[in-house]
Structure 1
Amino acid sequence: MSSLDQIIDNTVERGVAPFLVAMVTDREGVVWEHSAGQANAARAAGPDTVFTLFSMTKAIGSLMAVMAIDRGLITLDTPVGDVLPAFDELQVLEAVTAEGPRYRKPRTRATLRHLLTHTSGMGYEPFYPLMAEYAEATPSHSTDVTGTHASLNYPLLFDPGQDFAYGVSTDWVGALVAELDGRPMDRLLREDILDPLGMTNTYFERAQAGDHLADQALKHPDGTLEPCQVFPAANPEIYHMGHALYGSAADYLSFLRLVLNRGEHDGHTIVGSDAMGLMFENQLGGVTLPTPVIKSYIPSMSYDIEPCPGLRKTHTAGFFRTEEATPGMRGVGSLTWAGVLNSHYWIDPSRGIAAVFMTQMLPFCDPDLMASLDDFERAVCEKFGR
């Protein structure tokens, strides 16, 4: 048994995670895979286990935008309101008072670049206290997971382009690209991305996954695991490209290999290399990411979030990007993100590899699991680094 296999097995045996699926690809295809534990009562975890991907959806939504740029439908600097006028109706939330929320008109217009880099001004309730106050004080507010059209309409926490806040921006990206393209979002994604990449185990509706869908667990502070269920809305009014997808580790690795190959997949060009470069290059436009990148105010859902702690990071049109390297780990220019149920991935162009390390467990960024992820990354870089 390899050291990589042992890391995965030991993590599950110690109860750090209920199960794990881990895979590594180079530019040609899968070079290693290993799984441990039961995905559900009927099936052991494996490459075809279907995960509730949550924010792993975002990079695929960002790719939709990059493809629209490649086709000349839009630019990074196109104002969102030019395509979706409803965005220009959003106001900056200054405070929540006894009389209700106080707003002002934004001083700048949000662009596609702002949406793709989370600098549009919109932030999720668990991570931004002012937004949590607003949600509590505003009965008409619909959270993103409700899947209603109204759930796109988060107020802005600052003027677009002035700061970073992690929220529903990629949901607007999906709506914008579907409007430009003219096809329903699920059909567009299937025809332009999922089918060309062979992602046959990726879905918008969890019912389609059948008994391949993984169970979820909540880890308590004492380490015990309790079953839980956290899903996006079924059959929503609008699919949110920030969180809507379900898919397997093998499918997601196919997507990561497309990125690693800068838009090429098995000899076919899915998106031009110039447009694809936007997903590799810093697009923050002078905004500096906070530390931690995302602060959690609900510990049962997430710890504070800091990908690659201690390293300077930026954000491309699709991913967090590391601007420094740690010896024995991913190199400068590596790309990363995750889903809230602890499904993690990274792409290391300098080594020509990408990897997934996936389970289904809250809270996000559990420290013991992140330690195992570090061990896994070091072993991957030692085995497959160039």
Structure 2
Amino acid sequence: MDDVTRILDGFTDPTTGSLHGAIFVVIDSSGKTIYERTSGKASFEDGNSTAPQLDSLCWVASMTKLVTAVAIMQLVEQNLLSIDDDARDYVPELKGIQILRDDHGHLDTLQPRLEPVQGKLAIRHPLIFEPGTSWAYGAGIDWAGRVVECVSNSTLEDYMQENIWSKLGETSTTFHPERRRDTLPAALEMGYRVSIGHGSKSVKQGPITLHQPAKDSLGGIGLFSTTTDYVKLLAALLKGGAPILSRKGLDILFQPHLSEASRLAMPKSLGLQMSRILGINSVDDAGQADHCLAGTINLKDIPGRRKAGTVNWSGLPNLHWWIDPKTGIAATLFTQLMPPGDAAVTSLLIELEEATYRALADKVNSNSISPRL
């Protein structure tokens, strides 16, 4: 994995690199670590050259969504709800919700128009259009987290602690780090891109944009975690779901769910950087990816990279994860860098992925590991 190390260190080089710190971990289907490395610096203090740690605390933002999706599937497995149930039956705040329409008029005459939902507001849907008719990035998973709270009669923090984090041995994952300042590890500080390419001068320290302390446990964006903890979640899902989900529940979690109209609309809403990650290079590639309950899913192999059936998602400060069941690996890249959709981090992710799959292919060719890898 020498190429992986070279790439990671190159992107975090203080003179020529493009970000201040990063952590990259790859595991196989047995949960064994194939590769792990921290690179760059964790702090912006003058003269501080300490690298991030595997247990550096990070705001994982939208990587929270995977955990909330697992919580929903646990309730489905207990027959406490169905993903096709109307969310309004569980969450009182949603009962009167309407769809906001855009009449596409002139700016001086445009008037917002609200319409009732015509169909079911299924737990699997967001709501900025009639459910199931298109796709957009939004707060749908935050509402799914609220469903978990209403069904379990618990906060999302307490539910996940009892049913997910404690079962996986995760000790540093929480919606409320302010309550555990004495026991949580030190943070990888947040950076902000201020220029392109000038080494340490291209990134400056900045604040976490999530309001703290958080009033609610936000199932779409609210978690703080570490690479060490998050990899335990990825390992459980890669190995078949235990001890947090059954194989049947995992299959539903990773099953493509979009209608044709939603699938065709998804690439535009995802943006350029996620489209690059998914191998969507033109409108002709609209059939390249779909969306499952856990994140986006590739429907076709990407040559030299992930296989069909790979599920992935990201977090606002440019964190990423993917699970490739066919190859038998999962990986995560942790950074703390704003704004989201950073082109340099996307390039880093793709280069790390390509180097990882090359290394695995070399090992297969040398018969040093199982052909599945």
Answering whether residue 29 of structure 2 is matched by residue 27 of structure 1, we say yes
Find the aligned partners of 1:112 and 1:247 in 2 and give their Cα distance.
Answer: 26
1:321 aligned partner: 297
Q: How many residues align?
A: 336
Aligned residue identity for 2:345:
L
Answering whether residue 95 of structure 2 is matched by residue 102 of structure 1, we say no
2:312 aligned partner: 336
Change (3 A) 1:380 1:87: same
- Shifted more, 57-66 versus 94-103: the winner is 94-103
RMSD, aligned CA: 2.0
Answering whether residue 278 of structure 2 is matched by residue 308 of structure 1, we say yes
TM-score by length of 2: 0.85
- The match for 2:41 among 33, 38, 42 is 38
Is residue 202–residue 246 contact of structure 1 (8 Å, CA) maintained in 2? Answer: yes
Residue 102 of structure 1: how far off its partner (Å): 1.9
- Shifted more, 41-50 versus 54-63: the winner is 41-50
Find the aligned partners of 1:100 and 1:234 in 2 and give their Cα distance.
Answer: 34
- Shifted more, 165-174 versus 356-365: the winner is 356-365
SS in 1 for 2:349: helix
- Shifted more, 215-224 versus 159-168: the winner is 215-224
SS in 2 for 1:31: strand
SS in 1 for 2:222: coil
Find the aligned partners of 1:195 and 1:343 in 2 and give their Cα distance.
Answer: 23
Residue 99 of structure 1: how far off its partner (Å): 8.3
1:132 aligned partner: none
Unaligned runs of 5+ in 2: 362-372
Instruction: Tell me the alpha carbon deviations over residues 271-295 of structure 1, each in whole angstroms, 9 at most, x when there is no partner.
Output: 2111111121101133214363436
Find the aligned partners of 2:344 and 2:223 in 1 and give their Cα distance.
Answer: 26
Ranges of 4+ aligned residues in structure 1 off by more than 6 Å: none
Matches within 5 A, 1:110-259: 110-114=121-125, 120-121=126-127, 157-207=128-178, 208=180, 212-223=186-197, 224-259=202-237
2:351 aligned partner: 375
- The match for 1:274 among 233, 244, 248 is 248
Find the aligned partners of 1:344 and 1:284 in 2 and give their Cα distance.
Answer: 22
Residue 3 of structure 1: how far off its partner (Å): 1.6
Matches within 5 A, 1:40-59: 40=43, 41=45, 43-59=50-66
Instruction: Tell me the alpha carbon deviations over residues 101-122 of structure 1, each in whole angstroms, 9 at most, x when there is no partner.
Output: 32111111211122xxxxx22x
Residue 366 of structure 1: how far off its partner (Å): 2.0
Q: Which has the larger radius of gyration?
A: 2
Find the aligned partners of 1:364 and 1:288 in 2 and give their Cα distance.
Answer: 23
Instruction: Tell me the alpha carbon deviations over residues 221-267 of structure 1, each in whole angstroms, 9 at most, x when there is no partner.
Output: 44421211124222433211101100101111111111112212xxx
Unaligned runs of 5+ in 1: 115-119, 122-156, 297-302
Change (3 A) 1:295 1:352: closer
Q: Identity over the aligned pairs, expressed in percent? A: 24
Aligned residue identity for 2:34:
V
Find the aligned partners of 1:200 and 1:284 in 2 and give their Cα distance.
Answer: 35
Is residue 47–residue 250 contact of structure 1 (8 Å, CA) maintained in 2? Answer: yes
